Structure 1
Amino acid sequence: MNNSNVIEFKDVWKTYPMGTEEVKALRGVNLKIKKGSFIAIMGPSGSGKSTLLHLAGILDTPTKGTVLMNGKNIEDYSGKEQAKLRRENIGFIFQRFNLMPQLNALENVMLPMITADKEKAKKLLDKVGLSGKYNRLQNQLSGGEQQRVSIARALANDPTILLADEPTGELDTQNTKIIMELIKDLNEKDGLTIVEVTHNPLSAEFATELIKMQDGNIIR
């Protein structure tokens, strides 16, 4: 495994204004995410997990400190370059799937593609076990199947990093295991770097590294 850092946080602070006060979501976080790692981040609500994930996905910038992507400060990229970096390097999986209900499974997977490719979208749906369900709409799919479409969509542009925000939060135990086995395979067989935020200890068990957060700090 290549031990280079794909994402690195150096003394990262993130502060949000709330009325006349400030909420410190992250308080001087230092973290190195190695290429090919599978990290689960746990902690109570308000501990800073999702803020950390948003910064890793270049969806936000730190108030103070530095976030490096492949060794380069994300703030040194222009807005256009940041968007390109997200599109070409990072896949996102969300708790509530975020599918477009008016589109079928195939169309949802094709949606973020830089160049629309129906055959590639079919192969991705096959990969996540949805062969033959290309034309199903969201309301014709179970929760587990919707999350599989979401994973196929996250893989549409061949990312090197997969960021998962509570990927099993809406799923029962059986579907949690199925989805996490699938994500683990993407890490072990395809070499994707995985960062998962979760409240679910079962979901976290599939990761090879566990980070615990509290009050904006990494405590373990």
Structure 2
Amino acid sequence: MSESLEEQSLITNDKSNILLEAKNISHSFDYKLFENINLEIKSKESISIIGMSGSGKSTFLNILSSLLNPKSGEILYNSKNLYTLKKKDLLNIRREDFGIIFQAHYLFRGFSASDNLNIATLLSGENIDKDLLIKLNIDFVLNQSVGELSGGQQQRLSIARVLTKKPKIIFADEPTGNLDKDTAKIVMDTLFDYIHNNNAALVLVTHEEDLAKQCNHTYKLENLQLKELK
């Protein structure tokens, strides 16, 4: 009897760690991309999604991160469906709780690296983490304009800007796609450390299977379904 109660307790605790839940998500454009997908995203966990080009990985990430309405299904955050919230409430979640790392940098090119980080602090009320900048090896470029930075430095700056606002969930679309192997490792180690230290979660879309396997759970999007590989 005691074992049964302990098992029930573990299940309950496990459920309490859910940050985001996808329920029966389906989407299509001129053709079906995926249908009836279910996924739970928990604190301190990293999830990777792989699949062939055109399988819908980035589209699914956009739906999870509230940037795209699914054709059907629900995305629950704090037990509320993101797509039935008022626009103001949804914008607050994007600004305060979600961190989205795009393939493109989306930095303000007319500003310095420091200015780009300060914009994040103004929106979130958080301070710039100097240790984070050192870890990403961009602490020495703060006074340079974005146009003077290398592509890799710009990518790391955009990641630092996202982490500066202390998001609960990071949605990353090929965050290391344009980085060399050593720099990619620095970025991924930084993301993994962040979610562990901040009770956050990471959802990663990548075409690199070796990178995907570093996450706690790996899924493959194929034949309209999301299949767990790890």
TM-score (norm 1): 0.87
Work out the CA distance in 1 between the residues paired with 2:129 and 2:112: 12
1:56, distance to aligned residue in structure 2 (A): 1.2
The structure in which a higher percent of residues are helix is 2
Q: Is residue 77 from structure 1 mapped to residue 77 from structure 2 by the alignment?
A: no
Indicate the residue corresponding to 1:29 in structure 2: 37
Work out the CA distance in 2 between the residues paired with 1:115 and 1:84: 10
Stretch moving more, 121-130 or 158-167: 121-130
Indicate the residue corresponding to 2:19 in structure 1: 6
The answer on whether the counterparts of 1:166 and 1:199 sit within 8 Å (CA) in structure 2 is yes
Stretch moving more, 204-213 or 80-89: 204-213
Aligned to 1:164, the other structure's residue is in SS state strand
Return the letter of the residue paired with 1:152: A
Indicate the residue corresponding to 2:128 in structure 1: 121
Indicate the residue corresponding to 1:149 in structure 2: 157
- How many corresponding residue pairs? 214
Return the letter of the residue paired with 1:28: N
- Unpaired runs of 5+ residues, structure 1, are 17-21
Aligned to 1:155, the other structure's residue is in SS state helix
The answer on whether the counterparts of 2:174 and 2:206 sit within 8 Å (CA) in structure 1 is yes
Indicate the residue corresponding to 1:15 in structure 2: 28
Work out the CA distance in 1 between the residues paired with 2:218 and 2:74: 22
1:165, distance to aligned residue in structure 2 (A): 0.4
Work out the CA distance in 1 between the residues paired with 2:182 and 2:60: 28
1:32, distance to aligned residue in structure 2 (A): 1.0
TM-score (norm 2): 0.84
Indicate the residue corresponding to 1:108 in structure 2: 116
The sequence identity of aligned pairs, in percent, is 35
Question: Which structure has the greater CA radius of gyration?
Answer: 2
- Unpaired runs of 5+ residues, structure 2, are 1-9
Where do 1:175-214 residues align within 5 Å?
A: 175-214=183-222
Q: Is residue 41 from structure 1 mapped to residue 49 from structure 2 by the alignment?
A: yes
Work out the CA distance in 2 between the residues paired with 1:195 and 1:185: 14
Indicate the residue corresponding to 1:166 in structure 2: 174
The answer on whether the counterparts of 1:176 and 1:203 sit within 8 Å (CA) in structure 2 is no
1:72, distance to aligned residue in structure 2 (A): 1.1
Stretch moving more, 202-211 or 40-49: 202-211
